[in-house]
Chain A
């Protein structure tokens, strides 16, 4: 990892004088990968569905009408109805809002805190690094879901707390990533030069080391949105996340599982939605990694 980042950062530094040459090639590279395009299409669709859910959804997602309960998929209700007679399609569409909201927010929490800690640990090293790395290692030693459940147990159940919990759980991922990158460039001549002309550590971190971590952070952030969506759905499935009647995919899966034998559509469609969205973020993340930095490519 260290070696690779080293090459990556020097590459970035060398090309810094010719940004115009580099940027189009990144997008072009992204566009050359069909899987990345599929990922991009899925993610853009998710965003659009989330924004326009009230316009697209044929019914109110929480309005119950017992008289049409448990209807199989039909023209009127393409995904069928659940035990309360609620339209599953509408619930899945509204669920996109929660998925996106949850993914972005949890990811932002992890990103802001994780990157900050990583920059500090990587730049200052020594005791600062020791303490931060120790904390990071302790957190990484726990299974994600278990750690998230502990956080929810402390904060109380609910979708907001679930998001915070997932955000906290992913902090160490960013910290590790950024710390490694920063450590590899800390001793570079341009950083040394900045230090010599008397720039403050804050300025050096923000102006000289952070920009060199941007590529891996973008990749990480994209992938982590997908993970955060799955983890939050997992918490909701366990009854620790979204509370009824919120049309959240994990919660829908949970309540639909009692009907797997008699009404498969209740759990199937939200389950598919989670799979598609998470695959979308993952392949987009992979594509971005390849496109942003050819040297990072595993191919």
Chain B
């Protein structure tokens, strides 16, 4: 009998092991590989006195060419490799000097003359000068360029957003260029400071063609060394950086999909900075003297899209009903652990032009049922919701947001079928022109301008990549386009107030919340500052004490 018991117990143990092997190949491998590798550099560091800063990301970047990618993980890494002509001042979304030392804008607001910084070299040794800058611009505005960014399959680019109005570029002398726009464009200087406007070495484009996506060469504080897909990206310090040599020798971005594994790695000192923090862990981090939790109001918006051209969402009452049906305040309190405020429209309240008296849709399931009944759906309806799984900067709880909303909507008879796709497939599906599902959606501000939220996600021009709900309102389009050209800040603010109110009323999204930006570091990480745009700028100032 005892023998049998032993056999049974060992069977149990084997099964548990087999199960964990089946069920969690990725995290198990991750922990092991991470443990070994992290141990290796640590001992190497002790020998050579190298300072290695490790940042944990929740997902792998998709590409590292600033002009042909638009997702946060790629941006996080690229913000340490590249500079733009302008650069946000530390901790703000105000554009200041970058690769351009100074600039002049013509009276009519259409001609920008940039004086470029002298003596700057790309990581491959190429000089940064007027020729290099113009070669890079050619790649984003000239469809005849062999490496025109849009000539790639499935590319998602800010090129049109940033450079779309450029009608001419001109070299004045070796370190002066002139860019001409077809019309005045208020957010231009802010837009060209974005990580997506980083200057790539023309020699690298020549050498790698579209493969610069995986061989980035910039002028920034860190040089690209290697990228092991879904594991890590290694960068080394650029001692000649024009903004000052970095204080650490190496910067490693490590991909750790499991938030609990990320936290453990931070606690054990295997990583130094977490790019995303699971709200459940805020308290645990704050209570640990070895760790620091950083917070700042975020330039984010988070919600669900409702397909504008698909029944029943063609009826504004249905779209509003869904907004009334979800208890967003409760979600913010319990799911987001108070690190979020309820959203009323498609832009965060800290931006200029936010209408001050605009209130979010209150939680009112009765009203939701009434509106659904008026629209002809007294018993609700069924619909598919496309979901991503992992936390994002604008949505630190990932798919749990969708699960919570699913339950609220079920109360008013709207039954969502959740369909989870991995991040790449999710983006490709949601940004395709023929997709008619609801989708999780969110945005982290790129240039600190309301244009970057409202025009990007709600104008007809941006269907289907930016505007994934395919929402189209000609009146709103007029306002958004006018607001791009008006240079008077007060007048612009008024236009955005109107636009934000129209978007609130039309409700093309189920607006959920604006999350705070939260990051965690080891306490010995010195000089690390959050900025409203979430990117890892000024990493040259970060040191390990």
Q: Which residues of A contact B (CB under 8 A)?
A: 34-35, 38, 62-64, 66-67, 69-70, 83-85, 145, 156-158, 230-231, 233-234, 237, 239, 243-245, 250, 253, 255, 257-263, 271, 274-275, 278-279, 282-283
Bound together, the chains give a CA A90 to CA B25 distance in angstroms of 28
With contact pairs A34-B4, A64-B407, A282-B11 given, residues A244 and B399 touching in the complex (Cβ less than 8 Å): yes
Q: List 17 A-B contacts (CB under 8 A).
A: A64-B404, A66-B331, A66-B404, A67-B334, A83-B400, A84-B400, A230-B23, A233-B23, A234-B22, A237-B23, A239-B420, A243-B417, A245-B418, A253-B23, A257-B258, A261-B263, A263-B280
A244 near B22 with CB under 8 A, answer: no
Return chain A residues, CB-CB under 8 Å to B72: none
A230 near B19 with CB under 8 A, answer: yes
CB < 8 Å neighbour of A231 from B22, B260, B400, B420: B22
In the assembled complex, B281 has its CB within 8 A of some CB on chain A: yes
Closest chain A CB from B385 CB (angstroms): 10
Q: Contact mask B500-515 → A, CB, 8 Å, 1/0?
A: 0000000000000000
In the assembled complex, B498 has its CB within 8 A of some CB on chain A: no
Bound together, the chains give a CA A263 to CA B284 distance in angstroms of 12
Return chain A residues, CB-CB under 8 Å to B15: 275, 278-279, 282
In the assembled complex, B80 has its CB within 8 A of some CB on chain A: no
CB < 8 Å neighbour of B22 from A84, A230, A245, A282: A230
Bound together, the chains give a CA A120 to CA B313 distance in angstroms of 53
Return chain A residues, CB-CB under 8 Å to B23: 230, 233-234, 237, 250, 253
B280 near A83 with CB under 8 A, answer: yes
Return chain B residues, CB-CB under 8 Å to A259: 260, 280
A66 near B11 with CB under 8 A, answer: no
Q: Contact mask B1-44 → A, CB, 8 Å, 1/0?
A: 10010011001100110110011110100000000000000000
Closest chain A CB from B110 CB (angstroms): 49
Return chain A residues, CB-CB under 8 Å to B333: 66
In the assembled complex, B330 has its CB within 8 A of some CB on chain A: yes
Chain B 367-415 interface residues, beta-carbon cutoff 8 Å to A:
389, 399-400, 402-404, 406-407
Bound together, the chains give a CA A157 to CA B419 distance in angstroms of 7
In the assembled complex, B278 has its CB within 8 A of some CB on chain A: yes
With contact pairs A64-B407, A83-B400, A239-B422 given, residues A257 and B334 touching in the complex (Cβ less than 8 Å): no
In the assembled complex, B358 has its CB within 8 A of some CB on chain A: no
Closest chain B CB from A39 CB (angstroms): 10
Closest 10 CB pairs of A and B: A66-B334, A234-B22, A237-B23, A244-B403, A64-B407, A243-B418, A239-B420, A234-B23, A258-B259, A244-B418
Closest chain A CB from B392 CB (angstroms): 15
Interface centre among B19, B330, B333, B406 (most CB of A within 10 A): B19
In the assembled complex, B179 has its CB within 8 A of some CB on chain A: no
Closest chain A CB from B1 CB (angstroms): 8
Bound together, the chains give a CA A187 to CA B396 distance in angstroms of 66
Closest chain A CB from B311 CB (angstroms): 22
Return chain B residues, CB-CB under 8 Å to A250: 23
In the assembled complex, B310 has its CB within 8 A of some CB on chain A: no
Other A-B contacts than A157-B420, A239-B422, A262-B280, 13 sampled, CB-CB below 8 A, are: A62-B407, A63-B407, A66-B404, A83-B335, A83-B400, A145-B22, A157-B421, A233-B22, A257-B27, A258-B278, A261-B260, A275-B16, A278-B19
Bound together, the chains give a CA A244 to CA B417 distance in angstroms of 8
A262 near B281 with CB under 8 A, answer: yes
Closest chain B CB from A237 CB (angstroms): 5
CB < 8 Å neighbour of A243 from B400, B404, B420: B420
In the assembled complex, B264 has its CB within 8 A of some CB on chain A: yes
Bound together, the chains give a CA A98 to CA B22 distance in angstroms of 19
CB < 8 Å neighbour of B284 from A35, A84, A233, A262: A262
Bound together, the chains give a CA A183 to CA B4 distance in angstroms of 36
Bound together, the chains give a CA A255 to CA B406 distance in angstroms of 16
B334 near A258 with CB under 8 A, answer: no
Q: Which residue of A lies closest to B12 (CB)?
A: A279
Q: Which residues of B contact A (CB under 8 A)?
A: 1, 4, 7-8, 11-12, 15-16, 18-19, 22-25, 27, 258-260, 263-264, 278, 280-281, 284, 330-331, 333-335, 389, 399-400, 402-404, 406-407, 417-422
Closest chain A CB from B330 CB (angstroms): 5
Return chain A residues, CB-CB under 8 Å to B418: 243-245
Return chain B residues, CB-CB under 8 Å to A35: 4, 7-8
Q: Which residue of A lies closest to B278 (CB)?
A: A258
A84 near B403 with CB under 8 A, answer: yes
Bound together, the chains give a CA A157 to CA B258 distance in angstroms of 21
CB < 8 Å neighbour of B406 from A237, A244, A282: A244
Bound together, the chains give a CA A164 to CA B173 distance in angstroms of 67
Bound together, the chains give a CA A157 to CA B429 distance in angstroms of 14
Return chain A residues, CB-CB under 8 Å to B280: 70, 83, 258-259, 262-263
Q: Which residue of A lies closest to B259 (CB)?
A: A258
Return chain B residues, CB-CB under 8 Å to A239: 389, 420, 422
Return chain B residues, CB-CB under 8 Å to A278: 15, 19
Bound together, the chains give a CA A63 to CA B1 distance in angstroms of 45
A283 near B406 with CB under 8 A, answer: no
Closest chain A CB from B59 CB (angstroms): 13
Bound together, the chains give a CA A145 to CA B18 distance in angstroms of 13
Closest chain A CB from B337 CB (angstroms): 11
Return chain A residues, CB-CB under 8 Å to B335: 66, 83
CB < 8 Å neighbour of B403 from A34, A69, A245, A261: A245
Q: Which residue of B lies closest to A243 (CB)?
A: B418
Closest chain B CB from A56 CB (angstroms): 22
Return chain B residues, CB-CB under 8 Å to A233: 19, 22-23
Bound together, the chains give a CA A156 to CA B8 distance in angstroms of 38
B4 near A66 with CB under 8 A, answer: no
Return chain B residues, CB-CB under 8 Å to A282: 11, 15
B18 near A261 with CB under 8 A, answer: no
Closest chain B CB from A34 CB (angstroms): 6
Q: Which residue of B lies closest to A70 (CB)?
A: B280
Closest chain A CB from B508 CB (angstroms): 24
Interface centre among A69, A233, A262 (most CB of B within 10 A): A262
Return chain B residues, CB-CB under 8 Å to A283: 8, 11
Closest chain B CB from A279 CB (angstroms): 6
Closest chain A CB from B323 CB (angstroms): 19
B264 near A261 with CB under 8 A, answer: yes
Closest chain B CB from A243 CB (angstroms): 5
Bound together, the chains give a CA A275 to CA B356 distance in angstroms of 56
Closest chain B CB from A48 CB (angstroms): 22
B260 near A257 with CB under 8 A, answer: yes
